[in-house]
């Protein structure tokens, strides 16, 4: 269909088709190279995703301790019974599971897991991986890679790499410096001691340089609490200023900050035990101003911080908002946040990342997000129409390409489409 959309209903259809047609670059996930054998997948992992565990605890009289003592399959049965059988699965995480089942050709109306288990017990993992890429529309993705992880770190020496899986050097333990971290780096041959002195900071940079050489990451990343401040008289601020940002600049890597998580407010829930807090975006503005040669990726966890994030991005072109993270990844908030960003930043941001921890989640996280991003985009094209400005289909397609792939690709040095 050439030329501009004939009517509003055509417009939303054109936008939806344009967004759906773009192969996605998923800029933040918790998936791994297939050869690492670390990627979670299948119906039991889908159902025991920590979002669903938290929800199950609200509907079930089972204690977390009892739940976590169960075998994985029994945990999955417990979640399924509580959220999908005895109650209506209306939450985003439960609907997501049903989107995955439907997309795989399984019946989402069944009240049992027999068919799903039959599929997953017999599917060829490599074939399933390709199906997930096809059904989700993801062309490539960025992992979360921890050089201090005892299982993952050794795999980087020998395991086969899939070019669709880009690395991200995740440095939470380094920035949340402890004597144990110092001991670990020292044990690995870096003359690092606690407390960290100037030479130690140089050694931390050498540690980064070694892992950047090993992983070829697209960015360095960290999650930070709402209390994160800069400048401040802290070891975290020193490592950030004297090791992390110089290393990022030296290697041409963006620094991705994920701000607003309050860790383990309910430790009994394990991975489901983290919460959200309000962050101060002035901190981000100070970093962008002090380090104008560094590029920053930023996602924030609190809905209330999204507007200030947009304002900060208007002030600093070296700041790129990305995604609707974690508690933000719900249809209402994805649509609201994307509209806000379009209205304040035009198309100069990355609307979404999946944050997928389970391979199959790529299917629902992207099917749902593409729909909500397209709705937000349509609202802006309608504003153009009201202003008397025709919208060309070619413009809509170009915008979709920027938002769903090329903005992320250009920022992290991946090939554009
Ligand atoms: O720190 C992070 O990258 C977060 O995404 C955590 O992994 C969090 O537990 C999560 O899974 N959010 O969706
Ligand atoms: Zn994550």
Q: What is the DSSP string of 298-363?
A: EEES-GGGHHHHHHHHHH-TTEEEB---GGG-SHHHHHHHHHHHHHHHTT-SB------SBTTHHH
Q: Average of pLDDT values for 270-286?
A: 98
Of 324, 229, 207, 352, residue with least CA distance to 281: 229
pLDDT in tens, 61-97: 999 999 999 999 999 999 999 999 999 999 999 999 9
In this structure, which ligand is nearest to the CA of 271? Answer: 1
Residue to mutate, 53, 171, 262, 355, ligand 1, most ligand atoms under 8 Å from C-beta: 355
Rg (CA), the chain: 22
357 CB under 6 A from ligand 1? Answer: yes
The DSSP output letter for 106 is -
pLDDT attached to residue 194: 87
The residues whose Cβ lies within 5 A of ligand 2, an ion, are 355
In this structure, which ligand is nearest to the CA of 223? Answer: 1
pLDDT attached to residue 14: 96
**Neighbouring-strand partners of residue 276:** 261
pLDDT attached to residue 7: 60
Q: Average of pLDDT values for 335-358?
A: 98
pLDDT at 287 over 50: yes
Number of Cα atoms under 13 Å in the Cβ half of residue 337: 28
29 CB under 6 A from ligand 1? Answer: no
Please, what is the average pLDDT of the chain?
96
pLDDT attached to residue 3: 52
355 CB under 6 A from ligand 1? Answer: yes
pLDDT at 103 over 80: yes
How many angstroms separate the alpha carbon of residue 221 from the centre of ligand 1? Answer: 12
How many angstroms separate the alpha carbon of residue 355 from the centre of ligand 1? Answer: 7
DSSP helix/strand/coil, 224: strand
pLDDT at 1 over 60: no
pLDDT at 340 over 60: yes
pLDDT attached to residue 315: 98
Query: How far does Cα 133 stand from its chain's mean position?
Result: 16
pLDDT attached to residue 2: 38
pLDDT attached to residue 9: 63
Sheet bearing 255-259, strands edge to edge: 24-26, 138-142, 165-170, 217-224, 255-259, 296-300, 319-321
pLDDT in tens, 160-204: 999 999 999 999 999 999 999 999 999 999 999 988 999 999 999
223 CB under 6 A from ligand 1? Answer: yes
pLDDT in tens, 116-139: 999 999 999 999 999 999 999 999
pLDDT attached to residue 23: 98
pLDDT at 212 over 70: yes
93 CB under 6 A from ligand 1? Answer: no
Burial class (CB in 10 A: 0-12, 13-18, 19+), 92: middle
Burial class (CB in 10 A: 0-12, 13-18, 19+), 340: middle
pTM: 0.97
Number of residues assigned to the chain: 417
């Amino acid at each position: 269909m050439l030329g501009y959309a004939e009517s509003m209903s055509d417009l939303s259809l054109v936008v939806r088709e344009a967004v759906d047609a773009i192969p996605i670059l998923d800029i933040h996930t918790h998936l791994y190279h297939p050869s690492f054998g670390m990627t979670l997948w299948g119906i039991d992992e889908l159902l025991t995703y920590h979002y669903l565990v938290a929800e199950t605890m609200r509907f079930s009289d089972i204690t977390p301790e009892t739940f976590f003592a169960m075998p994985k399959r029994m945990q999955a049965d417990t979640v399924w019974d509580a959220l999908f059988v005895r109650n209506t699965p209306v939450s985003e995480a439960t609907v997501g599971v049903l989107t995955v089942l439907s997309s795989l050709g399984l019946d989402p109306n069944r009240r049992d897991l027999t068919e799903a288990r039959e599929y997953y017990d017999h599917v060829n993992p490599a074939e399933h991986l390709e199906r997930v890429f096809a059904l989700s529309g993801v062309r490539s993705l960025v992992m979360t890679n921890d050089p201090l992880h005892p299982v993952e770190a050794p795999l980087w020496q020998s395991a086969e790499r899939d070019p669709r899986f880009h690395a991200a050097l995740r440095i939470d333990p380094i920035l949340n410096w402890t004597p144990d971290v110092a001991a670990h780096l020292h044990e690995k041959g870096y003359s690092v001691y606690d407390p960290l002195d100037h030479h130690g900071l140089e050694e931390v940079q050498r540690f980064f340089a070694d892992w950047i050489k090993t992983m070829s990451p697209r960015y360095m990343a960290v999650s930070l609490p709402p209390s994160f401040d800069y400048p401040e008289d802290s070891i975290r601020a020193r490592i950030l200023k004297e090791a992390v940002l110089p290393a990022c600049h030296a290697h041409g890597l963006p620094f991705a900050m994920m701000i607003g998580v309050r860790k383990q407010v309910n430790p009994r829930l394990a991975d489901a035990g983290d919460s959200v807090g309000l962050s101060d975006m002035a901190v981000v503005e100070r970093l962008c101003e002090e380090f104008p040669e560094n590029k920053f990726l930023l996602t924030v966890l609190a809905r209330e911080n999204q507007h200030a994030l947009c304002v900060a991005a208007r002030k600093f072109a070296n700041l790129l908002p990305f995604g609707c993270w974690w508690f933000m990844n719900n249809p209402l908030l994805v649509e609201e946040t994307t509209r806000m960003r379009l209205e304040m930043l035009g198309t100069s941001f990355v609307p979404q990342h999946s944050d997928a921890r389970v391979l199959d989640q790529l299917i629902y996280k992207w099917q749902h997000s593409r729909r909500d991003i397209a709705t937000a985009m349509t609202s802006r094209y309608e504003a153009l129409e009201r202003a008397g400005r025709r919208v060309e289909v070619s413009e809509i397609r170009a915008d979709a390409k920027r938002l769903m792939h090329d903005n992320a690709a250009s920022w992290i040095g991946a090939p554009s489409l």
